[in-house]
């Protein structure tokens, strides 16, 4: 059933699960546990539609590299970021979970098989094919496969089920403001509406699913207020935060039959160059920009221009923007912190400290150069890399900057020294408090996070269903 905290409701009921956050992870968990006939309370801070009144709570400060404003990079209403995601999907690879380039402290505590077990069900939820085989292998360059969801909007997909369910209660405009309990056990979750009406809800197990920034912010707030009352102290809360740096790295003329392909470097080549993962794709230029690029080529390389021009006229080649997305090193210096400014609910606002490290720059530079040289040598494409990519690293602030992918901060690890949650996503030192979402990623890989988030949500539900 669906309720609204603005109606000042009171629910005297103990739920099997309370899920804080109605985005992709939270809704996936609620639907999955509800199907198993567990009683579930799903708490959503926003309403059914976007509102400035809700969205303003996402404002925060950014220190370091240029990045997207924190209230622009996510959405605070039912469905969360599924209300504006692009639908691009690819699962983790084995290399992503145990990457020797980023070291043992960044190794996941689970194996790829423990995530892949849920791939088929996750693909069904996102309405995509479970087909991710590489299409072409060209020595050290491989063509990789992404699937594209329509994209699925979780609010629209599951609204009717949430409304009619006998096991799931969804409460809108329910902003998390506090918890209570003792000895590592959360007994109640306090929520407040936008008119300062408060309500408390009781549950056996608590799942925090508020996103890759808010999960850290909420846990940092709880730690600041209660120290080690609910979980272990001195966890690396908010640390090892990551994004996927995105840039236009140049323009190119490429064979038309390859324009829809995504390319990546082989694992062996990444090890040889000591760089992280990345992928390249191409956006076709319009006729005007294509003409300008040809004119530029004629000035600098008239012989190559003559060849390319003939191939374009034969409809074999075309002009493209070359787009790049990269894995980022999980540095503890990149982190979420609390500011001294309080929001209307007396919770400190967010500070994001985020900078690209030397290995991040090296990944952008070397992979771009290698792709350009390899394509030219094999008569696949001619790429002109922008000078800032390989010289001054002065990336333009009008570029995409990131994928709106918020990773890490409450990451999974075998040790509480380097992680916030264990292999089953329970916070170290807690007896009933779990975290789900891309914030639990130990490392980020280079692929979009939505598909792995759904896989990990299904994995968490299977684990929890055996405990209650």
Q: Is 146 helix (H, G, I), strand (E, B) or coil?
A: coil
pLDDT of 395 reads: 65
pLDDT of 158 reads: 98
11 and 25 assigned to the same domain: yes
291 assigned to some structural domain? yes
Mean pLDDT estimate for the chain? 92
**Mean pLDDT value of segment 253-267:** 88
350 assigned to some structural domain? yes
117 assigned to some structural domain? yes
Higher pLDDT residue, 252 or 232? 232
**Mean pLDDT value of segment 238-254:** 91
249 and 374 assigned to the same domain: yes
**Mean pLDDT value of segment 196-217:** 97
Confidence check: pLDDT of 175 > 80: yes
User: For the chain, how big is the Rg over CA atoms in Å?
Assistant: 23
Instruction: Say if residues 416 and 233 touch (Cβ distance below 8 Å).
Output: no
100 and 18 assigned to the same domain: yes
Confidence check: pLDDT of 273 > 70: yes
Q: How far apart are CA 305 and CA 299, in angstroms?
A: 9
pLDDT of 140 reads: 86
Q: What percent of the chain has pLDDT over 70?
A: 97
Query: For position 46, which CATH number holds?
Result: 3.50.50.60
96 and 173 assigned to the same domain: yes
57 and 82 assigned to the same domain: yes
Q: What is the pLDDT of residues 11-47, one digit of tens each?
A: 878 999 999 999 999 999 999 999 999 999 999 999 9
Band (pLDDT 50/70/90 cuts) for residue 93 is very high
Q: How far apart are CA 31 and CA 28, in angstroms?
A: 5
pLDDT of 251 reads: 87
Confidence check: pLDDT of 268 > 60: yes
Query: Which of 214, 117, 184 lies closest to 463 in space, CA to CA?
Result: 117
pLDDT of 411 reads: 98
349 and 324 assigned to the same domain: no
DSSP string, 159-196: HHHHHH-SSEEEEES-EEEEEEEETTEEEEEEEE-TT-
Confidence check: pLDDT of 392 > 70: no
400 assigned to some structural domain? no
Confidence check: pLDDT of 255 > 60: yes
**Mean pLDDT value of segment 335-357:** 97
46 and 191 assigned to the same domain: yes
146 assigned to some structural domain? no
**Mean pLDDT value of segment 202-214:** 98
Confidence check: pLDDT of 264 > 70: yes
Band (pLDDT 50/70/90 cuts) for residue 397 is low
Band (pLDDT 50/70/90 cuts) for residue 293 is confident
Confidence check: pLDDT of 160 > 80: yes
Band (pLDDT 50/70/90 cuts) for residue 59 is very high
Instruction: Say if residues 254 and 381 touch (Cβ distance below 8 Å).
Output: yes
Band (pLDDT 50/70/90 cuts) for residue 376 is confident
Confidence check: pLDDT of 136 > 70: no
Q: How far apart are CA 318 and CA 13, in angstroms?
A: 63
Q: How far apart are CA 146 and CA 311, in angstroms?
A: 28
Hey, CA dihedral for 397, 402, 404, 410, is it positive or negative? negative
Taking each helix axis as running N to C, give the angle between helix 119-126 and helix 450-465, from 0 to 180 degrees, rounded to the nearest 10: 120
38 and 80 assigned to the same domain: yes
Q: How far apart are CA 29 and CA 306, in angstroms?
A: 58
Taking each helix axis as running N to C, give the angle between helix 450-465 and helix 24-35, from 0 to 180 degrees, rounded to the nearest 10: 30
**Mean pLDDT value of segment 273-300:** 82
Q: What percent of the chain has pLDDT over 90?
A: 76
Band (pLDDT 50/70/90 cuts) for residue 463 is very high
Question: pTM for the whole thing?
Answer: 0.94
> Which two structure tokens, joined as six digits, stand for 272?
């040889």
Q: How many domains does the chain have?
A: 2
Confidence check: pLDDT of 137 > 70: no
pLDDT of 236 reads: 98
171 assigned to some structural domain? yes
pLDDT of 11 reads: 80
Band (pLDDT 50/70/90 cuts) for residue 396 is low
64 and 208 assigned to the same domain: yes
pLDDT of 133 reads: 80
118 and 101 assigned to the same domain: yes
Residue-number span of the structural domain to which 300 is assigned? 245-330+356-390
Burial of 423 (0-12, 13-18, 19+ CB in 10 A): middle
211 and 305 assigned to the same domain: no
396 assigned to some structural domain? no
215 and 362 assigned to the same domain: no
The CA-to-CA distance between both ends of the chain, in Å, stands at 22
């Amino acid at each position: 059933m669906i309720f609204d905290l603005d109606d000042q409701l009171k629910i005297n009921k103990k739920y099997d699960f309370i899920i804080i956050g109605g985005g992709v992870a939270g809704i996936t968990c609620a639907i999955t546990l509800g199907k198993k006939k567990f009683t579930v309370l799903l708490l959503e801070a926003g309403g059914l539609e976007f509102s400035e009144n809700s969205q303003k709570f996402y404002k925060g400060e950014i220190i370091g590299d240029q990045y997207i404003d924190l209230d622009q990079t996510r959405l605070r209403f039912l469905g969360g970021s599924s209300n504006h995601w692009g639908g691009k999907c690819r699962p983790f690879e084995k290399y992503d979970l145990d990457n020797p380039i980023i070291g043992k402290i960044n190794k996941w505590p689970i194996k790829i098989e423990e995530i892949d077990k849920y791939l088929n069900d996750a693909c069904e939820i996102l309405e995509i094919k479970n087909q991710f085989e590489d299409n072409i292998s060209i020595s050290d360059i491989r063509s990789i496969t992404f699937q594209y969801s329509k994209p699925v909007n979780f609010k629209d997909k599951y609204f009717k089920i949430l409304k009619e369910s006998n096991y799931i209660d969804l409460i809108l405009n329910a902003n998390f403001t506090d918890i209570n309990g003792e000895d590592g056990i959360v007994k109640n979750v306090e929520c407040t509406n936008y008119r300062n009406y408060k309500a408390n809800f009781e549950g056996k197990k608590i799942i925090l699913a508020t996103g890759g920034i808010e999960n850290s912010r909420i846990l940092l707030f709880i730690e600041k207020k209660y120290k080690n009352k609910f979980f272990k102290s001195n966890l690396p809360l908010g640390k090892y935060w990551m994004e996927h740096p995105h840039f236009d790295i140049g323009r190119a003329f490429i064979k038309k039959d390859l324009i829809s392909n995504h390319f990546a470097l082989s694992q062996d080549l990444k090890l040889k160059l000591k760089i992280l993962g990345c992928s390249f794709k191409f956006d076709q230029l319009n006729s005007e920009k294509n003409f300008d690029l040809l004119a530029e080529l004629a000035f600098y390389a008239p012989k190559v221009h003559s060849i390319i021009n003939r191939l374009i006229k034969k409809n074999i080649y075309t002009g493209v923007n070359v787009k790049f997305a990269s894995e980022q090193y999980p540095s503890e210096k990149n982190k979420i912190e609390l500011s001294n400014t309080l929001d209307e609910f007396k919770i400190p606002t967010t500070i994001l400290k985020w900078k690209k490290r030397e290995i991040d720059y090296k990944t952008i530079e070397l992979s771009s150069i290698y792709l350009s040289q390899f394509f030219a040598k094999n008569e696949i494409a001619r790429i002109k890399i922008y000078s800032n990519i390989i010289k001054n690293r002065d990336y333009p602030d009008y570029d995409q900057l990131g994928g709106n992918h918020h990773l890490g901060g409450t990451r999974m690890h075998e040790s509480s020294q380097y992680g916030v949650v264990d292999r089953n996503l329970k916070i170290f030192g807690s007896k009933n408090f779990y975290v789900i979402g891309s914030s639990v990623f130990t490392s980020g890989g280079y692929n979009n996070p939505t598909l792995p988030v759904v896989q990990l949500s299904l994995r968490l539900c299977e684990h929890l269903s055996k405990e209650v």
